[in-house]
Amino acid sequence: MALFITFEGGEGCGKSVQSKRLYRRLSKLAVPVILTHEPGVTALGKKITRLLKWSQDINISPMAELLLFNASRAQLVEEVIRPNLEKGVNVICDRYADSTTTYQGYGRGLDMATVVAVNGVGTQGLVPDLTILLDMPVEEGLARKGEKNKDRFETESSKFHKRVREGYKKLAETEPERWLVVDATQSKETIAGIIWQRVSRLLPR
């Protein structure tokens, strides 16, 4: 059975760099793999993302946010993730349902049982085999992103982002066998090495 690996973390933690590195390393070894990300890969996902990230002029409630991220996710699972896993292609996804648990659950303060239930619908029960958390202090991550072109999430307070970070840590503690927590303040090479150690053990010999 193919592997489903997700990357998670706060703003500026380096997920996209590390997910690309892992994708390239697996591809070089001729391991069948695709790299995708949330939100906004499918045609529907792109439209939803534009709304969620850039609509400054309309009000989007936390509950609507929860549902919209999961609408985009349902499309991605059905159109991209599940068909590839079924074909035996490993899937790497930059953000997945844990982003909703942390941003809409811990960050926005939505009722956790509701978030878990809606995520269950959006993912259609598909849980990653491995989730890599790139953890770094909020201020450091936000500083890496810079001041230009901030979206609806990047303009949130550092208190919001601290709740997101703590939320990730709690999730990882509750399910340690699924999560790999990596200190994302280390060099890119060190981080990639730690990730590779874990992923290579999961690959069939």
List contacts with ligand TYD (CB under 6 A).
Answer: 11, 15-16, 38-39, 53, 69, 94-95, 99-100, 103-104, 153
How far is Cα 77 from Cα 140, in angstroms, rounded to an integer?
32
How far is Cα 95 from Cα 72, in angstroms, rounded to an integer?
12
Q: Minimum distance from CB of 37 to ligand TYD (Å)?
A: 7
CB nearer to ligand TYD: pick between 149 and 201: 149
CB nearer to ligand TYD: pick between 17 and 31: 17
58 is written with which tokens? 């309309």
- DSSP for residue 137: -
Do residues 169 and 120 lie in contact, with contact meaning Cβ atoms separated by under 8 Å? no
The string of DSSP codes covering 138-172 is: HHHHHHHH-SSS--TTTTS-HHHHHHHHHHHHHHH
Q: Minimum distance from CB of 45 to ligand TYD (Å)?
A: 10
Q: Minimum distance from CB of 88 to ligand TYD (Å)?
A: 26
CB nearer to ligand TYD: pick between 37 and 192: 37
CB nearer to ligand TYD: pick between 39 and 128: 39
Q: Minimum distance from CB of 133 to ligand TYD (Å)?
A: 13
